[in-house]
Structure 1
Amino acid sequence: MTTINTRSDPLTKKGKIDLIELAYDKKGLLRARRDSDNNYRYYDETEVDQLQRIMFLRLFDLPLDQIKKILDKSEAEQYQALSNQRQHIIVERDRLSSLLVNLDKTLATMKGASKMKDTEKFAAFKTKTINDNETQYGKEIRKKYSNSTIDNSNQKFNSLSEIDMTHLQELKNQILAALKSLVGTQNLDQPAAKQLFELHKEFLLMTWPKEQYSPEAHKGLAAMYVSDPRFTKYYEEGTGEKDAAETLKAIIDYYA
């Protein structure tokens, strides 16, 4: 038997560890027995291995519910899940490396050491856009669509040309202008509403991998526009209309 000393004392570090393990117990991730004399937890070798896997997966900031799903799978499925996580880390490493390179070039330019070429400025702009989006929305959209989906979307965005980016900005402006005139409408079966839907779909197809798009995914994103105050604020400020996000969601739900 393996003994881990974690008596229930909320004022000590040991007590904090005990509370963490209690959370694992409640989620069905880890089971332990207690010695009635000293109140220590006892784990056998299998349970210690399980605890090590839990602690390892926690390093990736995975929620306990997701960790339980992974550990409930077969060895082959666990291997695939960890392989997917590895790929996500590689993509994140490359993104941060690119961001660091562009930052160094910007700093050098500010000191007068060199001038950034237009292509370098454009690459830096795309990297910053991806980074800002990750910072602001990354946690929510990755939870909803998975790491691989968002990584692929970021890669597609990073491959856009300057012409593509100009068109993307034009689409954003057209969407907001079309939405502004439709806010509050109850008549969704009209050309203007259909046109707004097509504009929004075109925008998604430019930023999402083609195989990622589906009516369900489109509706799922629209639901976030209403449930997440940050998305709601974007459409309200962009149109100057209070119920803009709700109207856009209704139109997407109707035509998707």
Structure 2
Amino acid sequence: MTKYTVKKLAKAAGVSVRTLHHYDRIGLLKPSIRTAVGYRLYGENELLRLQQILFYKELDFGLKEIAALINRPDFDRIRALESQKQLLKARRKRIDRLMSTLDKTILHIKGKIKMNYEELYEGLPKEQAAAWRKEALEKWPDQVKQSEKVLIGMSMEEFEVLKSGFKENFETLASLCGHGADPASERVQQEIDRHYHYILRFWGKPGNQVEAYKGLGELYLADPRYTGTGGAPFGLFMKQAIDHYVTSLPA
């Protein structure tokens, strides 16, 4: 079976020899063979492991998180690849939407366009959207009216960017949950930070909204619509992630 020297592997993977030496030192990627004179040699298993590492790095995972994931006794390489594919798809969707918005801007689709509240829920079945809005108005009438007022005041471009970004963020959190990510991990907390700031924009209430956001975590846990998302108890995942996040915010 073909063995790669550290130099050949570095060239094939597009990384530096120094990077592979570092991965060896920290135990992230050990060579399959170390010769008597100290040469590192890598086989197919190490090549596949390096691929996993590079995919996770592309998705902004830290090296400690990557090590924790791929060193787990129950680590499933195929399942990991499928999860990474979903995360990359979500990122591609977000970039495609941003590109579309840029194209519209270049074509001089400018200015504020008056929207109505139905357009805020575009993409949902009409009856479902009406039912959700009715439920929200009964529970939080002032908050919903304030939020709709802010959103209707946006241009269509601003609203589409906000909506598509939030959707991509939510899909990424669901995928991380499905992959068994720790709610307190750096990667999840990065997405929760994005989620918090999206929520503030939807609410139309900039500034510190720690208690309100913590309450949102309770709602995720209590709402059966969020049970099972991503193949795991998503409501519990979101509550735990939000609870961890708010401890880092000023009271």
**Which of the two has greater helix per residue?**
1
Whose RCO is larger (CA < 8 A, sep 6+)? 2
